[in-house]
Structure 1
Amino acid sequence: MEYKRGRYSWLLRPFLIIFDVIIINVLAFYSFNFNEANLYFFSSALLNNKHLLYIIYSIVLWLVSTSFIKFYEVYRYTSAVNIISLLIKQFLVFAIIVFAFIGVFRSINIQAFDTLKYLLYSFSLISAIKLLSFYALKTYRSYLKGNVRRVVIIGKGEGAQELNQLFSKRKELGYNIIATFADSKTKTLTGSITDSFEFLKDNKEVDEIYCAIDELTEKQVNDFVKYAEINHCNIKFIPKTNKLLTKRLKTDYYNYLPVLSMPEIALNNDFNKFMKRIFDVVFSLLIIVFVMSWLTPLLFILIKLESKGSLFYKHKRNGINYKEFDCYKFRSLKTNKIVKGTYIKKNDTRVTKIGKFLRKTSLDEFPQFYNVLKGDMSVVGPRPHMLSYTEDYSKKIDKYNFMFRHNVKPGVTGLAQIKGYRGEIKNDEDIINRIKYDNFYIENWSLVLDLKIIFQTMINVFKGQKQAY
């Protein structure tokens, strides 16, 4: 997610969209010989009013086509060559759109040369304003020191040094390096990586953090991600320049240097988040009202009869963006003391008799529907790990792939779980396959996939799974 705090340059994009739409319609009015009777916008039916129809047609397809080729996604590190490439692509796409309109309405007497002139004039103005605004912002950053991003660089490697030099030399990019941290004795550094956390705590106006990810431990990565999420600043990652880049992180090029950031995945766009949240709330309320209402008092009696302790057991888990939350379960052990580094093993003596049944059928997970209602979890998603395991597992998995699964809310059930990769981790293959299925789910999410996973989970509740003990 790109955060923009205290900036007005974001207004440029809607301004350019409005300007472009006005240009293509005003020039169409003067360039195309529409029937004179049809120039009165509301004098006849819509289909007979070619001018009004063209306005609607051109606006809708302009917005759709520009969105498709990302015509307005121009950033401070975008090169002029890329902008020219976008202009050429949009010119060709819009030319097809215009000629298609004329082809459908053969009653419009417009010569191909007039249409070509209209397109050239329109895109000359659009290109001029787009490039003018691009270079005006560069000048504003270089000489007036405005529209500046305050950045912190973490790391001492080749990529971090190259980025530091790029930001320092090219003032038109508008990056102000306020501090650099690395575990080194170099005098030019502000301090060590440990010192950076104190610095960030005292400087809440940092806009972007650039981390040389291979120089950080998993815990440090987690802490930086959490800070960025809480303080609404952008966090980006600098890979080793000789390392193959993963497709699961968005790659931008600052000059020729690749910089990675968390992608805006389909599951996290506003509409899909809204749909998934509505589904989560409705489904969890149905479970709480029609299942938990009678299951809770029944299990309270059964659990209390066998062992002392509370009905529910809560433990810390990592959620979206590594955010910690209390995850609830029905207690299935004689003790709820957390032993670091140990999953429940087969024939574990800590598991009660009723606990064996609960774990075998996954009924012990049902209190997590309260977590769903609170917004900490989703009905379907990657299963959350205990905090003590997050660090251990990340050492066995490529950091980029491991971080990717923390880009969405964890789930009560998930694709990896129904495929049998749940519970005790016996070997590296278990955790590797778990992450593989989690990432597949994130990249291929749909409500249909959610329903399929829920259906398979319900079957497993009655059938049981050999990994559930």
Structure 2
Amino acid sequence: MKKSYFIIPISVIFHLTTINLILYLFTPDSYRNGFSVLYYNFSWFLVTYAIDFYPTARREGFMTNFSNFLRLFLIYGFFYLTSFAFRDYIPYSMGYLLQVYLLIFLMLTLWRVFFFAARRLYRAQGGNSARVVVIGRDKNLKKIRKVFDDSGLGYRYIGYFDNFKSYSPTYLGDINKSFTYIFENDIDEVYCMASKLSKLEMQQLITIADNSFKKIKIIPDNKELISRAMSIELYDSVPVLNLRASPLEMDYANVVKRVFDVLFSSLVIVFVLSWLTPLIYILLKFDSKGPLFFKQKRHGVNRSTFWCYKFRSMTQSKESDTLMATKNDMRITRLGKILRKTSIDELPQFFNVLKGDMSVVGPRPHMEIHTQQYETSVDKYLVRHFLKPGITGLAQIKGYRGEIIEKSDIVNRVRFDIFYMEKWSLQLDFKIIYYTVVNAIIGQERAY
């Protein structure tokens, strides 16, 4: 079976059954009337249609469009809560209604987990498969073969055509043979390497594929420009390559990340800094002379400058804005060693997060003098400034924190920062926060 026509209907039925059953069981006094039933179901259809929630691509997985799932959660939640604004009397507390709504989406999340796991298993056993061939061989063939070889995606790679003869078992002949092959064989999708076909050959293939009801896809001649972060945008009918696309360019992604930042930083400020700050103040008075907080100008998003706050961990000196802390640095106080080893000195930056200068997770902000130094000596260094800087980041949990001893330290830090920008997700943020806490407990080699 090449395409399943039952996936979307089954998902719709499960979703609506779950919503209606939970509301019937847990909010019977507000649900059991014709208006409520119609409202909840019609709202679901309206929201899912508006955000194009149901159509699923072959390569979509649990996390592929998870952001769309979160959008559905937020938008449908608005409709759900709005329904109670039209009632004279609400028999349930707002807290209880929110708990019921969270239960609904917990069940829908579990369905999502089950759905994608079951689909992968079904495809791995041969169901919902698509037979594919590639026309033209260049270095992209090896890369796309890795995609086809993932049995969970359901591709069945038959082979490739190219004018350069090969003894590979997957070589099917020259390009001219492909014209009849895809027509006579049960081929579902044809992938063409634009770098290996002439304009005439491309036109012939498109004509044959269209007349034989086959899907044809073009792999562009990338001239070494295409990257993982690239996206194609249409300006009217003109395709334009965006070489540095990021999930955080989407408005809803920025909203989700900002909401998380505000909530997380507020919790840390109220439940940790509220009692830890006066305690550290007292300990600092016994340890060394100077203020409680250390502030320093650093570069943030779009290379803007902001004051970055920390608990003071060093004695005051003229070198504080030019020289990073080094191993066995004499400027570090006794208390400062503990604060830096556990990363407690960074906690005041949650005020920066609340203000909007920083994010909980992102590239670490550098001193102005270091930005001026590295922007000319480190390739792609300024790319990291497309994002808000973070209290912690992917580079930090991978060991690239603190002192820059060798050039590879800053090169790898930039590499991880760019990877984070290109692959951002809430799941990645949670993972980075988790390992940051673990590293703070067990300690890192460069935490000094």
Q: TM-score, normalised by structure 1?
A: 0.46
